[in-house]
Structure 1
Amino acid sequence: MTDTTRPDRGTPLIPLPHGAARLLTTVGAVATIASTMLAWTWTAEFPGDLTVTAYPAGLQLLTLTGGILTLLYALTLWDVRGLRWLNPGRTTAPVFLTALAAFAVTWYTVLAIAIELGGLANLEPGGYVAAVASLLPVIGALALPRPGDTWKSYFAKADDIPRPAPLPAWAERVAITLALALGLVVFTYGISTPDDEYGETFSGFGLLVVFSAWALFSAGLTDRFSALNARHKGFATSMAFLAAAIFPFTQTEDHNANIGVNILIFATVALGLNIVVGLTGLLDLGYVAFLGVGAYAAALVSGSEYSRFSGTQLPFWGAVLVGMGASLVFGVLIGAPTLRLRGDYLAIVTLGFGEIFRIAVNNLDGSSGPDITNGPNGIANIPDLEMFGFNFGDPHDIGSFTLGRFANYFLLMLIFTAIVVLVFTRAADSRIGRSWVAIREDETAATAMGINGFRVKLIAFALGAALAGLAGTVSAHVSYSVVPTPYQFAGAAPPNSAFLLAAVVLGGMGTVSGPLLGASMLYLIPEKLQFLKNYELLAFGLALVLLMRFRPEGIIANRRRQLEFHETGQLDVPEQKTLPEDPAVTKAGA
């Protein structure tokens, strides 16, 4: 039997009657959920304590989540009325991807138990049940009608997803709020995962998030959410920042707030680089130097005893203006003689500037050069910022919540991020922003149309440098010290120029949320997977290769760039219909 509701679907990879395939997928999802109530191992040495019956914990919770998602999407194939919105195109791709998510987490856990504890003998019967149960929905999904003509259709979005039914404005705002609340829960869980020896919990979390997000994309829900955001742009942006502001109140450990504030610093710098790379198309390989200029300028006027100007301590806004101003000046000084270059030559010059900055601050120690930056030792003991009597280094009680030092800086950096987002969006939508895009697409054509290419590029370079200096000011006070080591092209951990550029490309060039997401991923993943050590860059490189192969426009794509990277069907000239000839016209022409 075939799926008569969607006759355009391809032949299943596994020959089974359609009804049996749906039943196998549904029963397998229920069995996967039930398996999380059993003990998977006999010892609590494996992270999460998977020895308790009827009490899912650790990676079992992730398998439980994957099983529930699989069950929900399996039920959409039974045409359950209340779940139609989950799979509007009635495609089997999200069913397969959610089943793959539960399968990946379960089998990863089973194999990790066997490897780390020394063999399959360390598995309880519940572990075997979970392994078999999670395999059933995958088999059932492959026995369902294929979403398209090739195997790639299992990972693609259907082309014929119907338009959503119109909703009242209040209902759309509720949907946006619920989606952002879910995003906050997911991020909070990810950042709060325990620091296991081999990162087992976070690895399972990553597998679940990747395949589940892929399933939502294939079902067309991400496109619908993007459309909602476009219709309620101001409301969606406000709710996103409100969700971020709630994050410190969900944490009991200041360490997680420390990760959060560093993610915001990294993300803000990436957003500034997005002006240079994403909007203007200038390949800047030394951008992290502007972050260092802002950090060192703020540290010199912070009142630190190790500063060359130890007697000078500017107030909060003074330090911010000094950091931004110094980066702005350096951006103009470096950009003025170099922005007449293009392509690889410009990239080489910016790479050289980044290395010159790091070497210069390393040598300004009083022996190799003037005593300004204290050389390799840097500027230490930078005091905490204070504004209107509010010291960011002291804990503060808000109701029953206590915000520690890093939580205070997180909220401060969130305000700065909002400012940077506002500057980026206003600049991108302005006349100068359209000039940047024109320069990026074709500088020769833009110049021929009257755009002063050098001036436009210099403005982008200077503005990006100033935004990096703003983040550098906060970075210096958060870390208590500034040293030359982080400000290089590539290193073991962000921020460095390679990771900043990767965050822009990974997230999506030319967008606001893309670099923010890319920076969050590139900072959080190395933080949680420290066991990779020397293999971290290898794993990072493989991930970038896969992303560039399957989604070169980035995770959150700019519409124009998405059309550039996926030309099939976009640039085809529609077939022209030939009108019947008029005999009178034909005779006259003859």
Structure 2
Amino acid sequence: MTTDTTTLKTPEPTADTATGTGPLYWTVALGGVATIASTFLSWTYTAEFPGDLTVYGYPGGLQVLTLVAGALLVLFALAALDTKGLRWLTPAGANKPLKLLALGAFGTTWYTVLAIAVELGGLVNLEPGGFVAAVATLIPLAALRLPDDARPLSRPKELPSWAEILIIVAAFAIGLYAVTYGIDTEYPELFIGYLITLGFAVAALIKAGLVQRFSALTATYRGIAVIAAFVAAAAFPFTQSTDQYTLIAVNILIFATVALGLNVVVGLAGLLDLGYVAFLGVGAYTAAIVSGSTASAFDIQFPFWAAVLTGAVVSLIFGVVIGAPTLRLRGDYLAIVTLGFGEIFRIVMLNLDGESGPQITNGPNGIPNIPDLNFFGYDFGEPHTVLGMELGSYANYYLLMLLAMILVVLVFSRAQNSRIGRAWVAIREDETAATAMGINGFRVKLIAFALGATLAGLAGTVQAHVQSTVVPEMYQFAGPVPPNSAFLLAAVILGGMGTISGPLLGASLLYLIPAKLEFLKDYQLLGFGIALILLMRFRPEGLIANRRAQLEYHETGQLDVPQQQKLTDDPAAGTAKAGA
């Protein structure tokens, strides 16, 4: 007689049977469906509100953002209900992402409803679809009752190489579309709604663990990820029909490149430089003087490559000359001296007008009529047809600045991982200890100061040709429009000091948001200050922080001694407990 040893496997518990949260997930999913359906209704009867929200059956303007938020809600709610099919969307837990997405859909929709009421003069201007949308986004708020289900990231199921590469390509394509959509927003209401939706969506993806998994993929296929990122960035001009928004993208790249140069000084070496924008001005003025401008005091015209090298070298010289006597100071004293240098540069440029000083910079009038770059017969000021599409003049400068930023990224990454880069980090953490270990602190800091100045000067040479004029007011410590020293420093801190992608992200946000919200005028600085306060409170290490900063600013418990049961003074009892 044989015994059947086959045992039945217990089915894996679902979200409903394991935690009893199934009804809440279904509520969130149904709320998401209702939110999507509301976007196909008319929200207002007049086309005076931008975006034309009067059409039935076709979402427009801010309705599209509500549609996206609703679709993400449904997708993640189904991922929480399904243990196998869509669960790959929530490797670190589903409840926190659902809460964030519910708040995002609620915030975007109610912002739209209130904006309609304020701009058109009351809730009477809402069509039934607007009320349906407002009520529909209240339903997913049931997710706020979900318990915390955060869990450590598990090793994902291995996919074929082609599938992982396809995921990387698709992610960068989605990123390109999201960035393009934000830059191309035509009115402030749409841009504010875009920021609300994007902010909650990105936070949800981080909490779900998808960003960490994507980072692991890019680390595995680093070469392919770099190529995909470059292709996505280079494809931006081909998505534009005019140069209106390409100019914004060019200025973002200039601002981001200068911020990355400042990251060498502040993020790696720990030197608080409050006059860094002056080096950008040195490069710009140098390029303006030697590039054949009709207003230049010198009748010379260098070719493009020579003008770029001249601007970078002059900035390097200024960096050494200014750094040599000041870098023996530390902390606040160094910050005050560099702040003074930035203001001295601006005042000197004002006084070199032929009256208060030699005629070199035309004083407050600056140097206008800077000619467009011409590189081997390629005129950057003329449109060109590439791959069957016509690219305007700013598209040419965008691609040039993209190459310059890649060069700066390469220099930064090589310097960061070199012996001198490790010396910078040692100086930043504890200069006294680093000096005691044999590091020449003054020489190391001077190298960082000179390198940062060179990178800023390189960006300044391109900025002079893009703007076609340079004036002293462009290089202040603080002002409503970047780049200036305050915004550059904020970009490094906001993005994450000591990283590559952090300052790039911080600079992009700090340039794009003021450019899109010009109607706020002086209130921009108020919002900027409030945002920095909130950032320092909830994420002091920056949006994209390195591991060292995360350990420094947050209590991780990694160094805590595991709690063990105390042994009694009786050796026998202690031995028994230890053996147990």
- Give the match for residue 152 of structure 1: none
User: Match for residue 459 of structure 1?
Assistant: 447
Once the two structures are TM-superposed, the CA of residue 375 in structure 1 deviates from its matched residue by: 0.2
Q: Which residue among 275, 293, 298 is the counterpart of 1:304?
A: 293
Measured after TM superposition, the shift of residue 579 of structure 1 is 10
CA contact (8 A) 2:15 2:82 kept: no
Map of 1:161 onto structure 2: 153
CA distance in 1, matches of 2:359, 2:24: 74
SS in 1 for 2:92: coil
1:184 to 155, 159, 176: 176
What's the CA shift string for 1:400-430, capped at 9, x where partnerless? 3110000000000001011000000001011
CA shift digits 1:118-165 (9 cap, x unpaired): 000000000000000011001x20233x217xxxxxxxxx34332322
8 Å Cα contact 2:24/2:143 also seen in 1: yes
Structure 2 counterpart of 1:543, from 520, 531, 554: 531
* CA-to-aligned-CA distance 1:205-234 (integer Å, 9 cap, x gap): 000000000100111111112222222223
- 1:228 maps to amino acid: L
Q: State which of 205, 221, 230 in structure 1 corresponds to 2:210.
A: 221
Q: 1:429 to 1:579 in 2, by over 3 A?
A: farther
The residue correspondences of 1:49-448 to structure 2 (distance < 5 A) are 49-79=52-82, 81-138=84-141, 140-144=142-146, 146-147=147-148, 158-194=150-186, 196=187, 199-309=188-298, 311-448=299-436
Does the 8 Å contact 1:40/1:124 carry over to 2?
yes
- Alpha-carbon deviations, 1:454-497, whole Å to 9, x = none? 00000000000000000000000000001000111100110000
Q: TM-score, normalised by structure 1?
A: 0.92
Could you tell me how far apart the structure 1 residues matched to 2:168 and 2:423 are? 33
Find the aligned partners of 2:404 and 2:303 in 1 and give their Cα distance.
17
Q: What is the match of residue 6 of structure 2?
A: none
Q: Percent identity?
A: 67
Deviations 1:37-56 (A, max 9, x none): 00000000101000000000
Provide the rounded CA distance (Å) in 2 between the counterparts of 1:512 and 1:233. 15
Letter in 2 for 1:330: F
Kindly provide the amino acid, as one letter, of the partner of residue 183 in structure 1: G
Structure 1 residue 576 displacement after superposition: 6.8
SS in structure 1 of the partner of residue 87 of structure 2: helix
Q: Is the 8 A contact 1:18 1:143 kept in 2?
A: no
Give secondary structure in 1 for the equivalent of 2:329. coil
Distance 1:300 1:424 in 2: 28
Counterpart-to-counterpart distance in 2, 1:477 and 1:428: 30
SS of the aligned residue for 1:397 comes to: strand
How far apart in 2 are the matches of 1:80 and 1:46? 44
SS at match of 1:384: coil
Q: Alignment partner for residue 23 of structure 1, among 23, 26, 29? A: 26
- Aligned equivalents of 2:449 and 2:310: distance in 1? 18
One-letter code of the match for 1:187? V
State the partner residue of 1:13. Answer: none
Question: Matches of 2:217 and 2:385 in 1, distance apart?
Answer: 37
Look up the SS of the partner of 2:502 in the other structure: helix
CA gap 1:172/1:312 in 2 versus in 1, 3 angstroms: same
Q: Which aligned pairs between 1:450-489 and structure 2 lie closer than 5 A?
A: 450-489=438-477
Look up the equivalent residue of 1:301 and give its one-letter code.
V
The residue aligned with 2:4 is none
* SS of match in other structure, 2:279: helix
1:42 is matched with 45
Separation in 2, partners of 1:55, 1:249: 27
Secondary structure of the residue that 2:85 maps to in structure 1?
Answer: helix
SS of 2:498's partner is: coil
Tell me how far apart the structure 2 counterparts of residues 132 and 502 of structure 1 sit (CA, whole Å). 39
2:15/2:81 contact within 8 Å kept = no
- In the alignment, the residues of structure 2 paired with residue 482 and residue 57 of structure 1 have an alpha-carbon distance, to the nearest angstrom, of 41
Measure, in 1, the Cα distance between the counterparts of 2:93 and 2:15.
Answer: 8
Matched residue type, 1:265: I
**How much is the aligned-residue C-alpha RMSD, in angstroms?**
2.0
Deviations 1:1-60 (A, max 9, x none): xx97689x99xxxxxx73332221111110000000000000001010000000000000
Query: Given that residues 69 and 105 in structure 2 are in contact (C-alpha distance below 8 angstroms), is that contact kept between their aligned partners in structure 1?
Result: yes
| Letter of the 2:559 counterpart | L
- Work out whether residues 509 and 515 of structure 1, in 8 Å CA contact, stay in contact via their aligned partners in 2: yes
Aligned to 1:521: 509
* Residue type of the alignment partner of 1:446: A
Q: Deviations over 1:341-372 (max 9, x none)?
A: 10000000000000000000011101111111
Distance 2:221 2:531 in 1: 33
For the residues of structure 1 that align with 2:564 and 2:548, how far apart are their CA atoms?
Answer: 25
- C-alpha contact (below 8 Å) 1:62/1:105 kept by paired residues: yes
- In the alignment, is the contact (CA less than 8 A) between 1:76 and 1:90 conserved in 2? no
Post-superposition offset of 1:170: 3.0
Q: Over residues 261-292 of structure 1, what are the superposed CA-to-partner deviations in whole Å (9 max), with x where a residue is unaligned?
A: 10000000000000000011110000000000
Give secondary structure in 1 for the equivalent of 2:137.
Answer: helix
CA shift in 2, pair 1:54/1:334, >3 Å: same
Distance between the aligned counterparts of 1:394 and 1:579, measured in 2? Answer: 82
Gaps of 5+ in 2: 1-11, 576-580
Query: Which amino acid in structure 2 is aligned with residue 102 of structure 1?
Result: A
Deviates more, 1:548-557 or 1:316-325: 548-557
Give the secondary-structure state (helix, strand or coil) at the position aligned to 1:97.
helix
Match of 2:465, SS state, is helix
Q: In 2, distance between residues paired with 1:452 and 1:228?
A: 39
Q: After TM superposition, give the deviation of residue 575 of structure 1 in Å.
A: 4.5
**Conserved 8 A contact 2:92-2:207:** no
Aligned match of 2:8: none
SS of equivalent to 2:235: helix
Preserved contact between residue 253 and residue 401 of structure 2 (Cα < 8 Å):
yes
Q: Distance in 1 between matches of 2:492 and 2:276?
A: 12
Residue 373 of structure 1 aligns to a residue whose secondary structure is coil
Instruction: Return closer, same or farther for 1:4/1:170 CA change in 2, 3 Å cut-off.
Output: closer
With normalisation by structure 2, the TM-score equals 0.94
1:567 offset after TM fit, Å? 2.1
What code does the residue aligned with 1:485 have?
Answer: E
C-alpha separation between the residues in 2 aligned to 1:474 and 1:574? 56
Aligned to 2:5: none
In the alignment, the residues of structure 1 paired with residue 126 and residue 184 of structure 2 have an alpha-carbon distance, to the nearest angstrom, of: 27
* 1:449 aligned partner: 437
Which consecutive residues of structure 1, in runs of 5 or more, have no partner in the other structure?
11-16, 149-157
Q: Quick one: distance in 1 between partners of 2:359 and 2:380?
A: 30
